[in-house]
Chains A and B, each alone.
Chain A
Amino acid sequence: MKTRCNQLSAMLTKLGSIVGALALSAALLLASSRPGHGTYEVNVYKAYPSTFWILVSVALSLGFMSMFGEIFSMHSPYGWVYGVLLIVSVNTLILSLPCLRDYAFTNQWDDVVHFSLATNIVQYGQPDSQNFYPTSHLLATAFSQITGLDLQVVISLFPMLFYLVYLASTAFVAWSMDTRSEVRALTMALASPLVFHTYSTTFRPTYFSVCMFPLVVGWIYRTRFQRLRWLDSVPFVFLLIFLPFFHPWSVISAIGITLAFGITFALEPTKRLRSDSSMFLTPVVIIGITWWTWFTAFRVFGTTLRRLVLSFGSALEGTHSLAGYLSKAQQAELQLSRVLSLVVYTYGLTVLYLGLAGLVIIWTFVQVVIRRRWVPAHLLALSSFIVTFTAIAVLSLFRDLVTANPLRISNFAVASVPVLVGALFYDFLSDHRAVGTAIARKHLFRKILLVVLVSTSILGVFVAHYSPLIGQPNHQFSYAQQAGITFLFEKAATDDKNIYTPFKGAFTLSSVLGSEDLRQLRQESPRWWIKAAPAHFGYEPDELGIEFENPGYLWVTAHENAYYTEVWPEGGRFTPQDFERLEIDPHWHRIYTSGDLTIWRRYNDE
């Protein structure tokens, strides 16, 4: 009877994966029937009909069901690979949407800035003199030169490629830490959803550092637990030397996890590992010295240090501070339900994953502190790392901490979750040594975990791109917008009059100039530090445009327009009426439009 059930379950698992692949194929057919035209779209999730998104969700759900079926009944040792490939294919499609829909860049800020830094390498053969994290730009440039792809396309493709790097890195840890195929499979199932929010779609070295983080964990584990010869540690040494050039946060996270392992070894009660705890000093010294030598040579070191001290000393709040959020919510007079939905869509995935880690952390705490039982060292090390990084992320809601966004830090903790929980969850959920009601209970918990993973994965798809769902219009930077910036750069009158835009637009010019050239241009003419236009374009009841200081040009992008007229029509710095008044304001000539960018010239300048 049991064998019969097993056979049926094996067949259903395979059938599910086939249907999942066909659902994804149907979604792809729908996507190819509606190609993008490269012009700005406020919401990428409305670019395709709801059938497309249903098919995507079905494919994801069946991928996870197929994986779970294979993991917990083990019909064949690597039968789960089909499920994970299905999930990864869906996610790759979602991450490739900007390329498939002909976006110039996925993001209005990061992508263009990093494009400019990479352009500098194309132009001058080496990174900008102030570029303190050049490796991702070097990689992008070389990738573009070797493959023949346009550098802009490469910038849009890299987040997707690093998602694959993250999966491979997690697989390396999973393969290093456990020999059971089921545990490896569960770890991969936990790693596959898009849990890094919009970071998954943007060219950000911080995100790339997150993707490389499991590799650091894997090599620490491999070199320190398996007592390899010095020659076998060579890749680890290369990794340590590489991190300081990647991003400062990759250094901080690597030092954090190395120290966590070192302290765990030092505290080990049986003294089995204690003698090895000093081995962790070597990696810290290598990475510390390389980083110090490299990073202190840049001006940004001083400013970062000052900002960090200030953030504690004089309560400098970050751009994503909690107080800032609350004040925005008050200004826009948001309903509680909208505030809650924004919180869920913005932080839901992180909270859910850290919640899963929390279960293991509590279990570890109970074992070590209450029951006085030692747990595997990597559980303790990863738990303490996750707690520390989560605490820093929470702290950054109240202090600047040079983080810009709490998710930037919590993503490192989230990247550790699959490795932390994979083995323990499998031991808890598998039928081995379980009898009677325990089996039924385990089956129920499996179903709960499956539902959690499917929901996470579907939610991950819908928060991977900026959209009104998370209170932002699409951050797409279109070719039409880029054409407008080029026009202004080439045709602007040579005077010292300022250039304005509703958002502070200093980044935007990076879409057409290499970083070194841009710096030189701004030294010659500070007007190219594009200024933020006064609130409501300075309109008062009886006067027009009085708050502009020496105005020359004003540009409005489709993204800015959508932000203030469609997503936040109330409570923002501009209202839809302000944009209408601009059209009839006799102080501004409307001199250029590309559909996605409109340029105005001040009347009284001639």
Chain B
Amino acid sequence: MNDQSTDTKESELTTAHRKSRNHYGDLFLLIGLCLSLTLLVYSTRSSLLRVIAGGLCIFFAPGYVLLAALYPDHRSISQGQRLSASVGISVVISSLLYLAAAYSLGITPHSSLGIVVAWILAMGLVAGLRRYRTPRPARPVLRPSTTPTPRQKQEPLSKWLRLGQIAAILVLGVTVGRLVWISSHTAPQFTEFYLLGSKGLAGGYPNHTQVGHPITVTIGIVHHGKNPQSYDLLYRIDNEDYVLAKSVVLDDGEQWESEVEIYPLETPERQKIVFDLHKAGQEFPYDTLHLWVDGSE
């Protein structure tokens, strides 16, 4: 069983080898990938193309070129082993390269890119030279088997189903793209609401009141979200509401901060001053804060 399978593979490889004119296509592809990544890194901020190219340059190419340099012929490592081992070995090689860089050059955006590109180019060159010295029939050819099985030839319906599978993959690809696009265009939505005491710090809040004198506190809002939002600000003592600010419109990441004066009740009791943040058009507060102050004697 095993021998038969190996023989079949040998004949498939030979057939593929005869058909293949370019024995260095894989290496050229990876070197091209490196150069494209370099261009992308220095020309775009972040893009799907850059993520894919970067991912391949860290998680696939370093191992692949090493294996190509070490095993220039197809007999010492099978196509499946070569491709699957490339991933794990890339993790190993990338890690060791960055480890060496960390304690010598230091890790910077330039060294991160440079060191991995240098490795791929150097190993790609070694692999190319070793492959050049390998007899042509022994050189590895990365090409899926195109020999149709007898049953495939007999079944026309099977062809339609195969087409259906390809169509389903395309549909899947489109939906994946849509999900990624939508997710990359959303932003976290929340609002920060805070009180600051003296010196603009989260401390030194007024503890006591004096008759006829207001207490002073700094109040702030930071809006996070794609769309602008309008806020109203009130404070409440003993179920009585007082407006502090109306229609404060904030954009994503925008901050509003203001020092406000509060007039507590003239009572010896400790009283709770509640600050309500309302989103425009909403009856109930979006969030609340409170301070406790001792009453006037």
Contacts and interface: CB of A to CB of B under 8 A. Distances in A.
Interface of A: 7, 10-11, 14-15, 17-18, 21-22, 24-25, 28-29, 31-32, 35-39, 75-78, 82, 89, 99-102, 104, 121-122, 124-127, 134-136, 138-139, 141-143, 145-149, 161, 164-165, 168-169, 171-172, 175-176, 179-181, 184, 212, 215, 218, 222, 228, 231-232, 234-235, 238-239, 241-242, 245-246, 478-480, 483-484, 487-488, 491-495, 552-553, 586-596, 599, 601, 603, 605-606
Given A38-B190, A143-B58, A212-B88, A492 B202 contact: yes
Interface stretch (B235-243, B260-268, B289-297): B289-297
Contact of A484 (B2, B95, B192): B192
B81 A135 contact: no
B218 to A, nearest CB: 10
Interface stretch (B15-23, B25-33, B70-78, B133-141): B70-78
B149 A11 contact: no
A171 to B, nearest CB: 4
Contacts of A484: 192
A interface, by DSSP: helix, strand, loop or mixed? helix
B58 A142 contact: yes
A553 B202 CA distance: 9
Nearest to B290: A590
B108 A235 contact: no
B164 A100 contact: no
A524 B164 CA distance: 66
Contacts of B288: 590, 593
A25 B192 contact: no
A547 to B, nearest CB: 20
B100 to A, nearest CB: 10
B118 interface: no
Contacts of B204: 493, 606
Contacts of A218: 85
A28 B179 contact: yes
Nearest to A24: B172
Contact of A76 (B6, B149, B222): B149
B109 to A, nearest CB: 4
A143 B172 contact: no
B210 interface: no
Given A135-B95, A146-B58, A180 B66 contact: no
Interface in B219-275: 222, 224, 270, 272
A591 B202 contact: yes
B175 A25 contact: yes
Nearest to B202: A491
B63 to A, nearest CB: 8
Contact of B194 (A143, A164, A235, A592): A592
* Among B67, B84, B109, B290, residue most surrounded by chain A Cβ atoms (within 10 Å): B84
B13 interface: no
B203 interface: yes
Contact of B102 (A21, A89, A138): A138
Contact of B70 (A145, A164, A212, A232): A232
Contacts of A478: 188, 190
Nearest to B199: A493
Contacts of B51: 147-149
A479 B192 contact: no
A137 B290 CA distance: 42
A138 B107 contact: yes
Contact of B191 (A15, A124, A169, A594): A594
The 8 closest A-B pairs by CB, nearest first: A493-B203, A38-B188, A125-B106, A148-B46, A21-B168, A168-B87, A147-B54, A215-B88
Given A75-B151, A592-B194, A601-B203, A37 B188 contact: yes
Given A7-B151, A35-B182, A592-B289, 11 more contacts: A145-B112, A147-B54, A148-B50, A483-B190, A493-B197, A589-B291, A591-B205, A593-B192, A593-B193, A599-B202, A603-B292
Given A7-B155, A14-B165, A138-B98, A172 B193 contact: no
